[in-house]
Structure 1
Protein backbone atom coordinates (compact mmCIF):
# COMPACT_ATOMS: atom_id res chain seq x y z
CA UNK A 1 0.00 0.00 0.00
CA UNK A 2 1.29 3.44 -0.86
CA UNK A 3 0.06 5.17 2.30
CA UNK A 4 -3.03 6.41 4.00
CA UNK A 5 -5.87 6.79 1.51
CA UNK A 6 -6.94 10.15 2.89
CA UNK A 7 -3.46 11.60 2.57
CA UNK A 8 -3.29 10.48 -1.06
CA UNK A 9 -6.69 11.90 -2.02
CA UNK A 10 -7.16 15.03 0.11
CA UNK A 11 -3.69 16.40 0.78
CA UNK A 12 -2.01 15.60 -2.54
CA UNK A 13 -2.80 16.55 -6.11
CA UNK A 14 -5.44 14.52 -7.93
CA UNK A 15 -2.81 13.24 -10.36
CA UNK A 16 -0.98 11.46 -7.52
CA UNK A 17 -4.03 9.44 -6.43
CA UNK A 18 -4.93 8.77 -10.05
CA UNK A 19 -1.43 7.53 -10.88
CA UNK A 20 -1.22 5.38 -7.73
CA UNK A 21 -4.48 3.61 -8.56
CA UNK A 22 -3.45 3.28 -12.19
CA UNK A 23 -0.17 1.67 -11.07
CA UNK A 24 -2.15 -0.75 -8.89
CA UNK A 25 -4.26 -1.57 -11.97
CA UNK A 26 -7.43 -0.71 -10.10
CA UNK A 27 -10.72 -1.21 -11.89
CA UNK A 28 -12.16 1.98 -10.38
CA UNK A 29 -12.90 4.77 -12.83
CA UNK A 30 -13.13 7.59 -10.28
CA UNK A 31 -12.98 8.33 -6.56
CA UNK A 32 -15.58 10.64 -5.01
CA UNK A 33 -14.01 13.23 -2.73
CA UNK A 34 -16.40 12.56 0.18
CA UNK A 35 -14.82 9.71 2.16
CA UNK A 36 -12.21 9.50 -0.58
CA UNK A 37 -9.65 7.79 1.65
CA UNK A 38 -11.91 4.83 2.33
CA UNK A 39 -12.92 4.62 -1.35
CA UNK A 40 -9.24 4.85 -2.35
CA UNK A 41 -8.50 1.87 -0.09
CA UNK A 42 -11.34 -0.13 -1.64
CA UNK A 43 -10.07 0.79 -5.11
CA UNK A 44 -6.57 -0.31 -4.21
CA UNK A 45 -8.02 -3.69 -3.24
CA UNK A 46 -10.00 -3.73 -6.50
CA UNK A 47 -6.83 -4.00 -8.59
CA UNK A 48 -5.27 -6.96 -10.29
CA UNK A 49 -3.32 -9.27 -7.97
CA UNK A 50 0.39 -8.56 -7.59
CA UNK A 51 2.39 -11.74 -7.07
CA UNK A 52 5.42 -9.73 -5.87
CA UNK A 53 3.69 -8.72 -2.61
CA UNK A 54 2.81 -11.34 -0.06
CA UNK A 55 0.25 -10.65 2.65
CA UNK A 56 2.91 -11.41 5.30
CA UNK A 57 4.77 -8.21 4.34
CA UNK A 58 1.57 -6.17 4.64
CA UNK A 59 0.62 -7.02 8.23
CA UNK A 60 1.24 -5.49 11.62
CA UNK A 61 0.95 -8.09 14.39
CA UNK A 62 -1.21 -10.34 12.16
CA UNK A 63 -3.60 -7.46 11.29
CA UNK A 64 -3.61 -6.65 7.56
CA UNK A 65 -2.28 -3.13 6.89
CA UNK A 66 -5.34 -2.30 4.80
CA UNK A 67 -7.62 -2.87 7.82
CA UNK A 68 -5.62 -0.33 9.82
CA UNK A 69 -5.68 2.06 6.87
CA UNK A 70 -9.49 1.73 6.52
CA UNK A 71 -9.95 2.79 10.14
CA UNK A 72 -7.44 5.66 9.93
CA UNK A 73 -8.92 6.87 6.63
CA UNK A 74 -12.46 6.68 8.02
CA UNK A 75 -11.52 8.88 10.99
CA UNK A 76 -9.58 11.39 8.88
CA UNK A 77 -12.29 11.45 6.19
CA UNK A 78 -14.85 12.35 8.85
CA UNK A 79 -12.65 15.18 10.16
CA UNK A 80 -12.22 16.72 6.68
CA UNK A 81 -15.83 16.12 5.61
CA UNK A 82 -16.78 19.82 5.28
CA UNK A 83 -13.78 20.43 3.02
CA UNK A 84 -14.29 17.32 0.86
CA UNK A 85 -18.00 18.09 0.48
CA UNK A 86 -17.08 21.55 -0.81
CA UNK A 87 -14.44 20.12 -3.17
CA UNK A 88 -16.86 17.48 -4.47
CA UNK A 89 -19.41 20.15 -5.38
CA UNK A 90 -16.73 22.42 -6.89
CA UNK A 91 -14.41 19.96 -8.68
CA UNK A 92 -16.29 16.66 -8.88
CA UNK A 93 -14.72 13.24 -8.37
CA UNK A 94 -11.07 12.33 -8.86
CA UNK A 95 -10.83 10.69 -12.28
CA UNK A 96 -8.60 7.66 -12.75
CA UNK A 97 -7.08 7.97 -16.21
CA UNK A 98 -6.08 4.83 -18.03
Structure 2
Protein backbone atom coordinates (compact mmCIF):
# COMPACT_ATOMS: atom_id res chain seq x y z
CA UNK A 1 0.00 0.00 0.00
CA UNK A 2 2.75 2.45 0.94
CA UNK A 3 4.65 1.65 -2.28
CA UNK A 4 1.55 2.47 -4.37
CA UNK A 5 1.20 5.87 -2.70
CA UNK A 6 4.89 6.61 -3.21
CA UNK A 7 4.70 5.61 -6.86
CA UNK A 8 1.57 7.70 -7.42
CA UNK A 9 3.17 10.75 -5.80
CA UNK A 10 6.30 10.29 -7.91
CA UNK A 11 4.31 10.10 -11.13
CA UNK A 12 2.26 13.17 -10.16
CA UNK A 13 5.37 15.19 -9.35
CA UNK A 14 6.95 14.25 -12.68
CA UNK A 15 3.78 15.26 -14.52
CA UNK A 16 3.61 18.57 -12.67
CA UNK A 17 7.25 19.38 -13.34
CA UNK A 18 6.57 19.01 -17.05
CA UNK A 19 3.29 20.92 -16.92
CA UNK A 20 3.36 24.01 -19.12
CA UNK A 21 1.35 26.10 -16.67
CA UNK A 22 3.65 25.24 -13.78
CA UNK A 23 6.68 26.20 -15.88
CA UNK A 24 5.29 29.54 -17.01
CA UNK A 25 3.06 30.80 -14.19
CA UNK A 26 4.43 29.35 -10.97
CA UNK A 27 8.13 29.58 -11.84
CA UNK A 28 10.09 32.66 -12.87
CA UNK A 29 10.45 33.60 -16.53
CA UNK A 30 14.07 32.44 -16.70
CA UNK A 31 13.10 28.90 -15.73
CA UNK A 32 10.50 28.72 -18.51
CA UNK A 33 12.84 30.15 -21.12
CA UNK A 34 15.66 27.86 -19.98
CA UNK A 35 13.40 24.82 -20.44
CA UNK A 36 12.30 25.90 -23.92
CA UNK A 37 15.87 26.73 -24.98
CA UNK A 38 16.98 23.31 -23.74
CA UNK A 39 14.42 21.72 -26.08
CA UNK A 40 15.63 23.99 -28.94
CA UNK A 41 12.22 25.37 -29.79
CA UNK A 42 11.64 27.73 -32.68
CA UNK A 43 9.31 29.99 -30.65
CA UNK A 44 10.52 33.55 -30.09
CA UNK A 45 8.13 34.38 -27.23
CA UNK A 46 4.96 33.11 -25.59
CA UNK A 47 2.05 35.10 -24.23
CA UNK A 48 1.31 34.96 -20.51
CA UNK A 49 -2.40 34.38 -21.18
CA UNK A 50 -2.79 30.63 -21.73
CA UNK A 51 0.98 30.37 -21.36
CA UNK A 52 0.85 26.71 -20.38
CA UNK A 53 -0.81 25.79 -23.66
CA UNK A 54 1.61 28.02 -25.59
CA UNK A 55 4.54 26.41 -23.73
CA UNK A 56 3.35 22.95 -24.80
CA UNK A 57 2.87 24.04 -28.42
CA UNK A 58 6.41 25.43 -28.37
CA UNK A 59 7.64 22.04 -27.17
CA UNK A 60 5.91 20.46 -30.14
CA UNK A 61 7.56 23.10 -32.37
CA UNK A 62 11.08 22.12 -31.36
CA UNK A 63 13.90 20.56 -33.31
CA UNK A 64 13.15 16.86 -33.76
CA UNK A 65 15.54 14.51 -32.04
CA UNK A 66 15.41 11.27 -30.12
CA UNK A 67 16.08 12.85 -26.71
CA UNK A 68 13.21 15.31 -26.93
CA UNK A 69 9.81 15.37 -25.32
CA UNK A 70 7.24 12.63 -25.60
CA UNK A 71 4.49 13.84 -27.92
CA UNK A 72 1.63 11.91 -26.23
CA UNK A 73 2.60 13.37 -22.84
CA UNK A 74 2.64 16.88 -24.28
CA UNK A 75 -0.77 16.35 -25.89
CA UNK A 76 -2.23 15.25 -22.56
CA UNK A 77 -0.57 18.21 -20.86
CA UNK A 78 -2.10 20.65 -23.36
CA UNK A 79 -5.56 19.65 -22.11
CA UNK A 80 -4.54 19.91 -18.44
CA UNK A 81 -2.73 23.20 -19.00
CA UNK A 82 -5.76 24.62 -20.81
CA UNK A 83 -7.97 23.87 -17.82
CA UNK A 84 -5.53 25.34 -15.29
CA UNK A 85 -4.82 28.34 -17.53
CA UNK A 86 -8.55 29.07 -17.64
CA UNK A 87 -8.72 29.10 -13.84
CA UNK A 88 -5.68 31.41 -13.68
CA UNK A 89 -6.96 33.71 -16.44
CA UNK A 90 -7.51 36.85 -14.30
CA UNK A 91 -3.98 36.63 -12.91
CA UNK A 92 -2.36 35.97 -16.29
CA UNK A 93 -4.30 38.83 -17.94
CA UNK A 94 -2.91 41.15 -15.27
CA UNK A 95 0.63 39.82 -15.80
CA UNK A 96 0.29 40.10 -19.59
CA UNK A 97 -0.80 43.72 -19.38
CA UNK A 98 1.96 44.54 -16.89
CA UNK A 99 4.95 42.59 -18.24
CA UNK A 100 4.05 41.52 -21.79
CA UNK A 101 5.10 38.27 -23.43
CA UNK A 102 7.72 35.91 -22.07
CA UNK A 103 10.69 36.30 -24.42
CA UNK A 104 12.63 33.15 -25.17
CA UNK A 105 15.49 34.74 -27.13
CA UNK A 106 16.57 31.49 -28.68
CA UNK A 107 19.88 31.89 -30.47
CA UNK A 108 20.53 29.95 -33.60
CA UNK A 109 23.15 27.24 -33.48
CA UNK A 110 26.42 28.22 -35.08
CA UNK A 111 27.57 26.07 -37.96
**Shared fold, TM over 0.5:** yes
- TM bin, normalised by shorter chain, reads 0.7 to 0.9
Q: Which one of 83, 87, 93 corresponds to residue 85 of structure 1?
A: 93
TM-score, normalised to structure 2's length? 0.76
2: distance between equivalents of 1:93 and 1:65? 25
Shift of 1:37: 0.3
2: distance between equivalents of 1:94 and 1:78? 18
1:66 maps to 2:74: yes
Which is higher, the Rg of structure 1 or of structure 2?
2
For residue 34 of structure 1, what is the aligned residue in structure 2?
49
For residue 95 of structure 1, what is the aligned residue in structure 2?
103
| Count of residues paired in the alignment | 91
1:7-61 CA-to-partner distances (Å, cap 9, x unmatched) read 00000000011011111110000010000000000001100012235x8xx48xx
The structure carrying a bigger strand percent of its residues is 1
Query: Using CA pairs below 8 Å that are at least 6 residues apart, which structure has the higher relative contact order?
Result: 1
Q: What residue ranges of structure 2 are gaps of 5+ in the alignment?
A: 1-14, 107-111
TM-score, normalised to structure 1's length? 0.86
